[in-house]
Amino acid sequence: MSAGGLGEVETQDALLFTGQEPLVLESGARLDEVEVAWECYGELNAERSNAVFVCHALTGDAHAAGHHGDPARRGWWDRLIGPGRPIDTDRFFVVSPNLLGGCQGTTGPSSVNPQTGQRYGLEFPMFSVRDLNTVHRRLLDHLGIGRLHAAIGGSLGGMQALQWAIDDPMAMELCVAICASARLSPMNIAFSTVAREAIMRDPDFQGGRYHDSERHPNIGLAVARMMAHITYLSEESFMEKFGHERRVDGAEPGLGPDYEVEHYLHHQGASFLSRFDALSYLYLTRTMDYFAPFEEEGIDAKLAGNPTKVLAISFSSDWRFDAGHSGFIVDRLKAAGWDAEQVDVESPWGHDSFLLDVPEYHELVAETLVSGELPA
Amino acid sequence: MSAGGLGEVETQDALLFTGQEPLVLESGARLDEVEVAWECYGELNAERSNAVFVCHALTGDAHAAGHHGDPARRGWWDRLIGPGRPIDTDRFFVVSPNLLGGCQGTTGPSSVNPQTGQRYGLEFPMFSVRDLNTVHRRLLDHLGIGRLHAAIGGSLGGMQALQWAIDDPMAMELCVAICASARLSPMNIAFSTVAREAIMRDPDFQGGRYHDSERHPNIGLAVARMMAHITYLSEESFMEKFGHERRVDGAEPGLGPDYEVEHYLHHQGASFLSRFDALSYLYLTRTMDYFAPFEEEGIDAKLAGNPTKVLAISFSSDWRFDAGHSGFIVDRLKAAGWDAEQVDVESPWGHDSFLLDVPEYHELVAETLVSGELPA
């Protein structure tokens, strides 16, 4: 990571939907109060034309860059966002919100339902990727931002940016969808259903009412996270990071963690519990499962004449959403006359590459954002 | 499947190790009583030279072929074993035992420890793939069989056959190791550790003493099985089998199973509970994790001059143990002067291909067993 990232930043929040003006979801369901948390970095220019909107992945949050007081602990995309970094805060005004259904400042299933005074739990309505954008469009209105220079995100974040570009031809000049998918494969959905099963069948899940007790579905959520984490890496990155190293060389063989890779995964599972909520995990994975923008009725007519430029970036070792997912998006958009390009970047780190130092990827993002043009 | 498989068959069992003559494991631990369950098909010839030994995979059992009274429900390798089938019972005497640590007739961690009158539980000693063979060598002695024509098995079964061939140059003429591995990758081990975590942290696991109660770690075991099952298939087979079909078209979106692939996995998890034991799952996955025959001290000297012919079969879409695993085995053996060949068979069905109708694979097994020669 280059020196000189952003300094201390703060998360802001606002109540953007209220009983007078509720959030109406695609399904028709209503949420009477929706609070949104976000961070922003850099300065909005006088023309209000330099806004870059960051969409986070499944378990991300608004804290994408800088730090909250401890310079050693920085936001999840600090490698990409900052002065002179690929999403250059000397040029761009970067907005990074937590999404609807999340658990880090924006209203989600563990929030209190103002109508009952109780947390929603499983009564929280199902929502779509489109609904995420309805909320974030409101945030932009609140910030006085019209058209975006770009929306950019990885994984679910890329799916969100893609949906936004499709739904609103004037929303952004550029859409950068990184290791995204326009339709989870049945195998992707299979991993998600096992994760949800682990959570919902944990006896401490208590039908989603665990917040009222001291028992949370920690075992199910940790197992779900451990499994998902495997799918974010690659055979190659596992081998490079861990090989067959054991924590204690010459230890007695046993059933508990022994190899370093096991200790690592156990740590991933345990540390996830302090930062994520089981209900949000259920809802957000399900929102991804149902995402299918190109299968909607009337999609061909809807795609026509959209000037948004779309860059889809995939990574060679990503087997969760492999290059075929990005290729499908670009093929479909090009067939509808869009200006769209895929770049498959060589990287050994699997799906997680979008969070890591992959120079070709960083350069690609930087050049595309600055030029406003897709790579040739 | 061709018509005319084996008819009704029976599982047999015998106490092969006793307090007078206990099983001494590689670790030095002793088991005072070891019972072994097996089935056999076909006739042993007068020279006792036509025995083919079948080694089952992680969750297999002795019931490989024929049926136990219901002709519609047949053994797990009935496609391969029977008159005129690739492992031809008109030619070969086929022996198929359940392995040590299992839960289907052979002594394992849920068996009663004769010294305490209680089930072993987590006091069952750790055991190695070599130990599986020690038990099975005793079974062959019991059956009056010396040298095998062949040992054949898929996945863990292939690993077992390979270890046997390495340890005893006179044990068999042919070793057929199908989608096997000489060393689980760190990613393989990662999946196993998550499965064990799901089981051992299930509150109903009760430190392995669940047999004394009415609560078994069914949630953990089902989650472990669902996850593992994903790794046995391939993106292509998931797409072909399930696509994005929903059980009820137009159903309200929700968090529970909706897509056919989800119902299928839930069924796999639930049905596994009636046939497999959580403790066996823990021990056998761990035995696989520690398997590393080529990393043992003195292995080079040990490999020298071994006349066993080894055929390693891999499947193009197997990502659990991909072609590289078989390739590594064959390269290592050839470097030591063995007669060894790898054939990578085109198949869309992933790791599970070894259980399925893949004609090229069936022909390869048939020709190799009949000729006693490796493919050119």
CATH value at residue B272: 1.10.1740.110
pLDDT recorded at residue A1: 43
Q: pLDDT per position in chain A (376 positions), as tens?
A: 446 899 999 999 999 999 999 999 999 999 999 999 999 999 999 999 999 999 999 999 999 999 999 999 999 999 999 999 999 999 999 999 999 999 999 999 999 999 999 999 999 999 999 999 999 999 999 999 999 999 999 999 999 999 999 999 999 999 999 999 999 999 999 999 999 999 999 999 999 999 989 999 999 999 999 999 999 999 999 999 999 999 999 899 999 999 999 999 999 999 999 999 999 999 999 999 999 999 999 999 999 999 999 999 999 999 999 999 999 999 999 999 999 999 999 999 999 999 999 999 999 999 999 999 999 8
User: What's the Cα-to-Cα distance from B212 to each of A288, A339, B111, B118, B346, rounded to whole Å?
Assistant: 42, 66, 12, 9, 47
pLDDT digits 0-9 by tens, B285-308: 999 999 999 999 999 999 999 999
Which residues 118-137 on chain A approach chain B with CB closer than 8 angstroms?
Answer: 122, 126
Sequence-distant (≥ 6) Cβ neighbours of residue B349 within 8 angstroms:
B233, B234, B237, B315, B317, B356, B358
Q: Are strands B34-41 and B93-97 parallel, antiparallel or unpaired?
A: antiparallel
The answer on B127 and B25 residing in a single domain is yes
Report if residue A330 sits inside a domain. Answer: yes
The answer on B42 and B116 residing in a single domain is yes
Report if residue B337 sits inside a domain. Answer: yes
pLDDT digits 0-9 by tens, B193-239: 999 999 999 999 999 999 989 999 999 999 999 999 999 999 999 99
Reading the block at residue B366, the tokens are 């048939």
pLDDT digits 0-9 by tens, B89-143: 999 999 999 999 999 999 999 999 999 999 999 999 999 999 999 999 999 999 9
- Alpha carbon distance B52, B135 (integer Å): 16
Closest CA to B239 of A187, A34, A91, A269: A187
What whole-number percentage of chain B has pLDDT above 70?
Answer: 99
The answer on B217 and B161 residing in a single domain is no
Are B193 and A239 inside 8 Å of each other by CB? no
Report if residue A149 sits inside a domain. Answer: yes
Are B193 and A292 inside 8 Å of each other by CB? no
Sequence-distant (≥ 6) Cβ neighbours of residue B119 within 8 angstroms:
B109, B110, B111, B112, B113, B209, B211, B212
A230 touches chain B (CB under 8 A): yes
DSSP secondary structure string for all residues of B229-246: HHHHS-HHHHHHHHTT-B
CA dihedral of B43, B48, B49, B54, whole degrees rounded to 10: 60
- Alpha carbon distance A39, A61 (integer Å): 10
Report if residue B1 sits inside a domain. Answer: no
Are A187 and B283 inside 8 Å of each other by CB? no
Q: Quick one: closest CA in A to B260, which residue?
A: A186
Q: Which of A239, A244, A284, A291 to mutate to test the interface with B (most CBs of B within 10 A)?
A: A244
Label residues B37-55 b or e (16+ Cβ within 10 Å = b). Answer: bbbbbbebeeeeebbbbbb
- Alpha carbon distance A101, A127 (integer Å): 8
pLDDT greater than 90 at residue B317: yes
The answer on A204 and A180 residing in a single domain is no
B13 is an active site residue: no
Count the domains in chain B.
2
CA atoms within 13 A on the CB side of A233: 23
The answer on B212 and B167 residing in a single domain is no
Catalytic residue, chosen from B88, B202, B277, B318, is B318
- Alpha carbon distance A147, A51 (integer Å): 8
pLDDT recorded at residue B376: 84
The partner residue sitting opposite B282, judged by closest CB among A253, A255, A269, is A255
pLDDT recorded at residue A212: 87
Strand partners of residue A31: A23
Report if residue A95 sits inside a domain. Answer: yes
Q: How many angstroms away from the CA of B66 is the closest CA of chain A?
A: 32
Farthest-apart Cα atoms in chain A, separation = 67
- Alpha carbon distance A289, B198 (integer Å): 23
Q: Quick one: closest CA in A to B295, which residue?
A: A244
pLDDT recorded at residue B3: 61
CA dihedral of A12, A225, A220, A61, whole degrees rounded to 10: 10
Are B253 and A290 inside 8 Å of each other by CB? yes
Domain boundary among A286, A314, A332: A286
B212 is an active site residue: no
CATH value at residue A158: 3.40.50.1820
Q: Which of B26, B123, B215, B230 to mutate to test the interface with A (most CBs of A within 10 A)?
A: B230
Q: B-chain residues within 8 Å CB-CB of A296?
A: none
- Alpha helices for A64-128 (secondary structure H): none
pLDDT recorded at residue B4: 81
- Alpha carbon distance A208, A218 (integer Å): 13
pLDDT recorded at residue A4: 81
- Alpha carbon distance A128, A39 (integer Å): 23
The answer on B134 and B29 residing in a single domain is yes
Sequence-distant (≥ 6) Cβ neighbours of residue B114 within 8 angstroms:
B19, B32, B33
- Alpha carbon distance B305, B295 (integer Å): 18
Q: Return the amino acid letter for A10.
A: E
Strand partners of residue A154: A178
Reading the block at residue B178, the tokens are 């199908």
State whether residue A95 is helix, strand or coil.
strand
CA atoms within 13 A on the CB side of A83: 7
State whether residue A32 is helix, strand or coil.
coil
The answer on B206 and B143 residing in a single domain is no
| Residues A151 and A164: beta-carbon distance below 8 Å | yes
Are A253 and B286 inside 8 Å of each other by CB? yes
Reading the block at residue A280, the tokens are 């949000």
Reading the block at residue A128, the tokens are 């779509």
Q: How many angstroms away from the CA of A112 is the closest CA of chain B?
A: 20
The answer on A365 and A347 residing in a single domain is yes
Closest CA to A284 of A114, A156, A174, A146: A156
The partner residue sitting opposite B186, judged by closest CB among A243, A257, A290, is A243
Q: Are strands B30-31 and B23-24 parallel, antiparallel or unpaired?
A: antiparallel
Q: A-chain residues within 8 Å CB-CB of B226?
A: 190, 193-194, 197
Are B259 and A185 inside 8 Å of each other by CB? no
Q: Map tokens 């300065």 to a residue.
A: A43
Closest CA to A226 of B289, B204, B197, B223: B197
Closest CA to B137 of B19, B53, B261, B33: B53
Whether the complex's predicted ipTM is more than 0.90 is answered with yes
Handedness of CA A152, A192, A266, A221 (dihedral sign): positive
Element (H, E) at B342: strand B339-345
pLDDT greater than 90 at residue B162: yes
Report if residue A4 sits inside a domain. Answer: no
| Residues A74 and A66: beta-carbon distance below 8 Å | yes
Q: How much is the CA Rg of chain B, to the nearest whole Å?
A: 20
Q: How many angstroms away from the CA of A187 is the closest CA of chain B?
A: 6
Using a 10 angstrom Cβ sphere, with 0-12 exposed, 13-18 middle and 19 or more buried, the burial of residue A350 is: buried
The answer on A170 and A157 residing in a single domain is yes
Q: B-chain residues within 8 Å CB-CB of A27?
A: 253
B61 is an active site residue: no
Q: B-chain residues within 8 Å CB-CB of A206?
A: none
Label residues B79-117 b or e (16+ Cβ within 10 Å = b). Answer: bbbbeebbbbbebbbbbbbbbbbbbbbbbbbbbebeeee
Q: Return the amino acid letter for B79.
A: R
User: Which residue range forms the structural domain that includes residue B270?
Assistant: 188-286
pLDDT greater than 50 at residue B1: no
Domain boundary among A256, A286, A316: A286
The partner residue sitting opposite A189, judged by closest CB among B122, B203, B261, is B261
Q: How many angstroms away from the CA of A192 is the closest CA of chain B?
A: 9
The answer on A194 and A180 residing in a single domain is no
The answer on A211 and A115 residing in a single domain is no
Report if residue B7 sits inside a domain. Answer: no
The partner residue sitting opposite A219, judged by closest CB among B201, B222, B255, is B201
Domain boundary among A266, A286, A306: A286
Q: How many angstroms away from the CA of A186 is the closest CA of chain B?
A: 6
Q: Map tokens 């519990």 to a residue.
A: A273
Are A238 and B190 inside 8 Å of each other by CB? yes
The answer on B281 and B300 residing in a single domain is no
Report if residue A140 sits inside a domain. Answer: yes
Catalytic residue, chosen from B110, B111, B128, B155, is B155
The partner residue sitting opposite A226, judged by closest CB among B197, B244, B261, is B197
State whether residue B321 is helix, strand or coil.
coil
